[in-house]
Amino acid sequence: MPTAPGPEILAAFEAAKGFMPVAEGLALYEAAVEAGRLGLPLLEVGTYCGRSTILLADAARRSGVTAVTVDHHRGSEEQQPGWDYHDPSTVDPEVGLMDTLPAFRRTLHRAGLEDHVVAIVGRSPQVAAFWRAPLGLVFVDGGHTDEHAGADYEGWAPHVAEGGLLVIHDVFPDPADEFTGQAPYRVWLRALASGAFEEVSATDSLRVLRRTAAGG
Ligand SMILES: C[S@@+](CC[C@H](N)C(=O)[O-])C[C@H]1O[C@@H](n2cnc3c(N)ncnc32)[C@H](O)[C@@H]1O
């Protein structure tokens, strides 16, 4: 029987601005609850407005651990003005750049989950460079270029503890299905080829891998 969030958490997830469909959210939640049993923090790369963070935060609350979420809050390439995923309401009119931090904070406050999340505002590789703590789960949902997705894998996968989970969003093996490039797919291939991770589940474009050996 899969572990599902309560109706109020699911409603908060569905009401939040973001891109993750419900089926993938439920798979992420199940992975986060399982990983929480390791008693280690759960880390997300790519906060945006907090839609997926709600699920990690609630899973963290259930396990008595903390969810950490990293984002520079200036948006990915495909979210910039002129691109398909741009939302003009995320632009700070004073500086003329995207700033999703205020929307994220409102999302988390409304869901009553602020106490369970540490939000880090910064570039993922820069944060990963000084990160030292083992993690129960790493959820990669940041930039979708090879440069960014590859750096997220290299920066964060080494911190996934033995038995912990690496979750990758937007894995599209068929180029006909992808909207934002196949870099996450290549990260998934790389993780499997490393011999350090094995696949646990696949729900649409969300892949859950478990660390079974060192390296990767
Ligand atoms: C696809 S969105 C995340 C969606 C979110 N997980 C959700 O479910 O709604 C990607 C986010 O990654 C952030 N991002 C992209 N590249 C980044 C980088 N190198 N460092 C930190 N954040 C980055 C963007 O600012 C954007 O908010």
67-104 pLDDT per residue, tens? 999 999 999 988 998 888 899 999 999 999 999 999 99
* pLDDT tier at 175, thresholds 50, 70, 90: confident
The residue whose C-alpha atom lies closest to atom 9 belonging to ligand 1 is 18
Q: Which atom of ligand 1 is nearest to the CA of 122?
A: 21
Residue of minimum CA distance from atom 11 in ligand 1: 46
Distance (Å, whole) CA 11 – CA 49 = 15
- pLDDT for 113 beyond 80: yes
Q: Does ligand 1 lie within 6 Å of residue 184's CB atom?
A: no
Given a cut of 90, whether residue 176 has pLDDT beyond it is no
Mean predicted lDDT score pLDDT of the chain: 96
Q: Is the CB of 51 under 6 A from ligand 1?
A: yes
Mean per-residue pLDDT for 177-201? 93
Helix (H, G, I), strand (E, B) or coil at 137: strand
Rounded average pLDDT over 117-130: 98
The values of phi and psi at residue 135, to 5°, are: -125, 145
The more confident residue out of 20 and 83 is: 20
Do the strands 91-92 and 67-71 form a parallel or antiparallel pair, or are they unpaired?
Answer: unpaired
> Residue 117 C-alpha to ligand 1 middle, in angstroms?
16
Does the C-beta of 76 come closer than 6 Å to ligand 1? Answer: yes
Test site for ligand 1: of 76, 154, 205, most ligand atoms within 8 A of the Cβ: 76
Alpha helix locations (H) across the chain?
7-15, 22-36, 51-63, 101-110, 124-128, 146-156, 183-193
Spell out the domain ranges in the chain. 7-211
Token pair for 166: 């690496």
Tokens coding 180: 């934002």
Place of tokens 């750049």: 97
The verdict on the CB of residue 53 being under 6 Å from ligand 1 is no
Nearest CA to ligand 1 atom 27: 48
Note the pLDDT of residue 1: 64
Alpha carbon of 140 to ligand 1 centroid (Å): 9
Confidence label for 177 from pLDDT (cuts 50, 70 and 90): confident
Q: Break the chain down into helix, strand, coil percent, rounded to 5.
A: 40, 20, 40
- The crossing angle, in degrees rounded to 10, of helices 51-63 and 7-15 is 160
- Does domain 7-211 fall under CATH 3.90.870.30? My reply is no
Q: Work out whether the CA dihedral 77, 83, 85, 90 comes out positive or negative.
A: positive
Average pLDDT over residues 152-178: 94
- The residue behind tokens 């969003």 is 169
